[in-house]
Structure 1
Amino acid sequence: MEAHGCCWRSLHPNFFHSSQPYILSIFASVCYAGLNYASMVSLDKGMSAYVLVAYGDALATLVTAAFVLAFESRMNRPKMNMMILMEVFLLGLLGAVLARTLYYTGLERTSSTFASVMSNLFPSMTFLLAIIFRMEKLEMRKITSQAKVVGTVVALGGAMLMTLYKGIIVISMSSRHPHHSTARTASSSSVDKDWINGSLMLIGSALTRSGSSVLQARTIKKYPAPISLTCLTSLFGTFQAMVLSFAIERKASVWKLGWDLRLLSISYSGIMVFGVATYIQFLVIRKRGPVFAAVFNPLSTVIVALADLLVLRQSLHMGSMVGAILIILGLYMVLWAKNKENKKEMSLDEEFCQDTSSNPPNTNQDPKHVVKEQEAW
């Protein structure tokens, strides 16, 4: 029955089903693009980075818990054992606490431009970790492996070019008040802030986020309930972030909230990023792996540039245009390679389905021998 089902899916491809990981990944990139603006609003208003993470995780826990009750309450989920619980605890520590806390504290010590550059280390680090843990095949003799390596490097270079180089103005938006203050603040603060510690924190943020992405690929196979995993990850992250916040921030006033932009930014980060984007990442990783999900990260830089052009009325420079082209080119190379590998795996599955349908298993075989064959497969 299962063999017939996999053959039917291979013979009747659904366009929406095949394009779903791409659509979800692009939407997650849009969510992450808005995170930089939302976090800067809270940090500029004097909110602690540790408290911001705790509030975001707590709100994500409440929202995803409601979706669990609505969509996964009657689902036949596997039993939660101690090993899965430990992995979820690590997911909360790596992704929900350390990656976000290190990013916010690094953002405070450097600048938004530099933090945007360093966040694009995430795809490269995820690619390396996936190779180390044998979740990604790298055979440099094959053109698909070469395309993945070159595409990752090209996308990373394009993201850095967009944020570090401006060049001549290509599109000038009519604005009577150019945003010179932002550049001036970033350049002046670069002397005052601890850039070395901030840089190390941003590198640590990219590394812990990559480790969380690789661990998600392992955990989602053992516990295929993405909404519940998102909720549990946020729940563990809430307790861990609260412990960290109480250990560092001793004043009770840092937890005070009002009906202002800080509450709006916390709502956005908790619902759209900590909740929705994390859930999307679980879905995409389960279908296509951690590298596929991570390679869309530089797309957030392109979205931020478009938002600056259309919303903030900033000018579009040559560096942004060339960088965006490189990001799209690198993204296309990686996705082309992943699509080639996916088609090859589907053809192998189709051959296996045909073999099993034409050569049914021998029911007279020794049951122990059949079990050993299934375990080996």
Structure 2
Amino acid sequence: MGEDMRGVGVAAKWPPVIVMVISQVAMGSVNALVKKALDVGVNHMIIGAYRMAISSFILVPIAYILERHQNFQRKIIPKITLRLMVDHFISGLLGASLMQFFYLLGLSYTSATVSCALVSLMPAITFAFAFIFRTEKVQNLKTQAGMLKVMGTLICISGALFLTFYKGPHISNSHSHIESLPHNNNNNKTKNWLLGCLYLTIGTLLLSLWMLFQGTLSVKYPCNFSSTCLMSVFAVFQCALLSLYKSRDVKDWVIDDKFVIGVIVYAGVIGQAMSTVATMWAIKKLGAVFVSAIMPISLFSATLFDFLLLHTPLYLGSVIGSIVTIMGLYVFLWGKKKETEASRMNNEDQNSNNDKDSTRSPPV
């Protein structure tokens, strides 16, 4: 009987794992295809605005069915106050519009491989922010789990720095159409590469700040789907305003290229709406640590799409830097796993002691 129950428990983990793997492969393809669309010359924030608008359109019925309809009788949906609206406006600014402004700008200067590698820094960066904001206690860093998390963070940062400042030789014969243009000399390419890595890093920093902010917002408004929908709606208008940085011509919003239209729809449905739903569901089933461990699959997916479909060159620095970053991420997650296990054991010991105290006979 026990073995049957364990078998059921293991089998129950496979669906969210499969969903997350498919989601991360799709995310790698989204980054590669968006990079191709950016190379056409489309305003990156117009792509961002359309992407968030499609995400909002998809999430509205999902939020209604899964939250409003099912939880209506239990009355657990908090009322939308002015403070909650402001919080969701900030959430959209950090996690969608400003993040996409820098991230897509960085993607236009680099490649999908580099963008996914730098996003893999997010768990370590979030930990560093948690330490700065004192949500991570100093004494916790003295434990084995704490030291592993610090070591993983440093390895991740080292990989990102290597990836940024060492491009290295080609390790493939493919070449991108951008690099074949005569005006793209080596100095300009190096400058654009460094700028792109800087923009991607800023985008990842904003995403990490959003995760910390979202942690407090989810306590005040524990409705993941409608919260994401509200954030997306605000992000649409924010992206539209940020698009003025590059162009103020209304004609730029009319996109005739069928490939770009397809990429925007694909990015909005798969890369934004469905990816958010899949990630939230997987975190609920498996936990954030396990889900974070699956996310680097998007890096390998982006590399594969970059090389095979878009013919983007592979650089030695990108490969080495990505491998070092992933190694650092798994060292960090190893420390996080040990911390979670230690916390669970302490809670079990405390509950056991409380049970003993409650059953102890009173003194006569």
TM-score, length basis structure 1: 0.73
Q: Give runs of aligned pairs for residues 85-164 of structure 1, distance below 5 A.
A: 85-108=85-108, 110-112=109-111, 115=115, 118-137=118-137, 139-158=140-159, 164=166
> 1:244 is matched with which residue?
242
- In structure 2, stretches of 5+ residues that fail to align are 1-5, 360-364
SS at match of 1:140: helix
> Is the CA contact 2:91–2:213 (under 8 Å) kept in the aligned structure 1?
yes
> C-alpha root-mean-square deviation of aligned residues, in Å?
4.0
> 1:230 is matched with which residue?
228
Aligned partner letter, 1:331: L
Q: Are residue 188 (structure 1) and residue 184 (structure 2) matched?
A: yes
> 2:362 is matched with which residue?
none
> 1:61 is matched with which residue?
56
SS at match of 2:141: coil
> 1:71 is matched with which residue?
66
TM-score, length basis structure 2: 0.75
| Distance change (3 Å), C-alpha of 1:180 and 1:199 | closer
| Distance change (3 Å), C-alpha of 1:315 and 1:199 | closer
Residue 255 of structure 1: CA displacement?
Answer: 1.0
Residue 96 of structure 1: CA displacement?
Answer: 0.9
Residue 211 of structure 1: CA displacement?
Answer: 0.8
> Is the CA contact 1:120–1:159 (under 8 Å) kept in the aligned structure 2?
no
Q: Give runs of aligned pairs for residues 141-290 of structure 1, distance below 5 A.
A: 141-158=142-159, 164=166, 178-181=173-176, 184-185=179-180, 188=184, 191-192=187-188, 195=192, 198=196, 200-245=198-243, 249-258=247-256, 260-282=258-280
Match of 1:38 among 33, 38, 44: 33
Residue 359 of structure 1: CA displacement?
Answer: 5.8
What does the per-residue CA deviation read over 1:324-353, in whole Å, with 9 as the maximum and x for residues that have no partner? Answer: 654553333222222222122222333444
Q: Distance in 1 between matches of 2:260 and 2:280?
A: 28
What does the per-residue CA deviation read over 1:220-249, in whole Å, with 9 as the maximum and x for residues that have no partner? Answer: 233222111211111111122223335763
**Residue identity (%):** 29
Residue 24 of structure 1: CA displacement?
Answer: 6.2
| Distance change (3 Å), C-alpha of 1:284 and 1:208 | farther
| Deviates most, 47-56 or 300-309 | 300-309
Aligned partner letter, 2:211: S
- In structure 1, stretches of 5+ residues that fail to align are 1-10, 173-177, 362-377
> Is the CA contact 2:121–2:157 (under 8 Å) kept in the aligned structure 1?
yes
Match of 1:51 among 36, 46, 50: 46
